[in-house]
Amino acid sequence: MEEADGASVVATQLGEQLITAILQNTPATEIKSLVDAGAPVWYQNETEGTSPLHAAAYTRNLELIQFLIEKGAVWNAVDYLQNTAGDIALSYNDGEIYNVIRNAGIRTELLLGVLSTQGDTEPDPLRYTRDETGQDICFVNVDGEDIGVMMGWETPIMMETVESIYDSLPERDNLRVLNVGFGLGIIDRLFQALPTPPSLHVIIEPHPDVLHHMKDNGWDRKPGVKILEGKWQDFVEQDELLALGGFDVIYTDTFSENYQDLHRFFEHLPNLLSGSHARFSFFNGLGATNPLFYDVYSHISELHLADIGLGVQWSEVDVRPQKHDERWGKSREYFTVPIYRLPLAYLSTLP
């Protein structure tokens, strides 16, 4: 035990020396000698949470940034102000250093498979209600507290998404739409409100509370709408879905799944899309608590879509909260970046 405590003290001392040396612009040879002597590149000091990579970003030392990353510096470490080294580089408008850190994040996350897998669990109960303004909200109870998981603040994103998809389509008659994950039904209502509504509108939804909400609101009786009750994994290789033919528009937003699930869904797109004119989009919320994380995961999704032959056109939606949006409270904690990056994927060049 004493030996472990002693090693921890030494690591702390070396870590502090390394950060101080970087901030004081000590010659690179001396800094590299410190690392070779065992100074931990992952260390963060107790006063501010600053890491060696943060310090190198403050001093705008590109060579040192590259060296620290090669030695295993943590690309996504955040200090006590929730800033990464990439955020610091952005604050200096230093695109070269930012790109080095971002690309390190992309390589690392691709190697790790991007996020941990989740085991199959029973779905948490959901509660649909309306706020004082009459807008629909869906809550999940976490440790006795209601947290909004589907909220009206997403509406502008959905509107921009549907508009981008529709405007890019070369043919708009007899549209065949597939949406995975109903949620509050925001995007499904927008699809139904198109100048030319879909001739077929398939919705895959597994959650019993959401299905109950859908039926209460008559979605099972709408012309052209077909509800498949279950997970998308239950249908993507089954005749019940494949026999319907290819889809001109596919959208997915499954709040309970992680990126690995989304990546697996990507792999089925070539068999689900109707052809080169078809479009695909998804709710791009991964890593949206930090600009660097968001950039990394957006690039990863683009790389994975490219692997299956889909290009991506990105557009931006300003989602900075207005004063009246304060009512969303903790429902916005998972999405705090000011700009939403809207993906529009396609099998051929957009018109």
- Residue 348 pLDDT grade (very low, low, confident, very high; cuts 50, 70, 90): low
Q: What is the pLDDT of residue 153?
A: 72
Q: What is the pTM of this model?
A: 0.80
DSSP letter for 349, please.
Answer: -
Q: Does residue 207 contact residue 126 with C-beta atoms inside 8 Å?
A: yes
Q: Does residue 265 contact residue 252 with C-beta atoms inside 8 Å?
A: yes
Q: What is the pLDDT of residue 24?
A: 96
162: how many CB neighbours lie within 10 A of its CB?
A: 22
Whether residue 82 is predicted with pLDDT greater than 70 in this model: the reply is yes
Q: What CA–CA distance (Å, rounded) separates 312 from 303?
A: 9
Of 253, 337, 343, 340, residue with least CA distance to 300: 343
- Residue 8 pLDDT grade (very low, low, confident, very high; cuts 50, 70, 90): confident
Pull the structure tokens for residue 273.
Answer: 């899309």
Whether residue 309 is predicted with pLDDT greater than 50 in this model: the reply is yes
* Phi then psi dihedrals of residue 244, to 5 deg: -75, -10
Mean pLDDT of the chain: 86
Pull the structure tokens for residue 4.
Answer: 């472990």
CB proximity list for 279: less than 8 A, separation 6 or greater: 165, 168, 169, 248, 249, 250, 344, 345, 346
Whether residue 1 is predicted with pLDDT greater than 50 in this model: the reply is no
What pLDDT digit, counting tens, does each position of 267-286 carry? 999 999 999 899 999 999 88
Q: What is the pLDDT of residue 188?
A: 97
Query: Cα 319 to the chain's mean position, in Å?
Result: 15
Q: What is the pLDDT of residue 62?
A: 96
Whether residue 210 is predicted with pLDDT greater than 90 in this model: the reply is no
Q: What is the pLDDT of residue 334?
A: 66
Q: What is the pLDDT of residue 42?
A: 94
- Name the burial class of residue 51, with classes exposed (0-12), middle (13-18) and buried (19+) by CB atoms within 10 angstroms of its CB: buried
Average pLDDT value for residue range 161-184: 94
Reduced to 3 states (helix: H, G, I; strand: E, B; else coil), residue 290 is coil
Lowest mean pLDDT among 100-104, 116-120, 232-236: 116-120
Q: What is the pLDDT of residue 118?
A: 47
Domains, in order of start, for the chain: 2-112 (1.25.40.20), 153-346 (3.40.50.150)
* Phi then psi dihedrals of residue 141, to 5 deg: -90, 120
Write down the residue that tokens 């499954």 correspond to.
254
Decide which of 96 and 137 is more confident: 96
Decide which of 212 and 129 is more confident: 212
Q: What CA–CA distance (Å, rounded) separates 152 from 325?
A: 10
Whether residue 58 is predicted with pLDDT greater than 80 in this model: the reply is yes
Q: What CA–CA distance (Å, rounded) separates 64 from 73?
A: 11
- Residue 113 pLDDT grade (very low, low, confident, very high; cuts 50, 70, 90): low
Which residues lie across from 343 on neighbouring strands? Answer: 314
Whether residue 134 is predicted with pLDDT greater than 70 in this model: the reply is no
* DSSP secondary structure, 319-338, as one string: -PPPGGGGGGGGGGTT---S
Q: What is the pLDDT of residue 54?
A: 97
DSSP letter for 124, please.
Answer: P
Q: What is the pLDDT of residue 288?
A: 84
What pLDDT digit, counting tens, does each position of 139-159 carry? 666 556 555 555 667 889 999
- Residue 244 pLDDT grade (very low, low, confident, very high; cuts 50, 70, 90): confident
Lowest mean pLDDT among 84-88, 130-134, 201-205, 232-236: 130-134
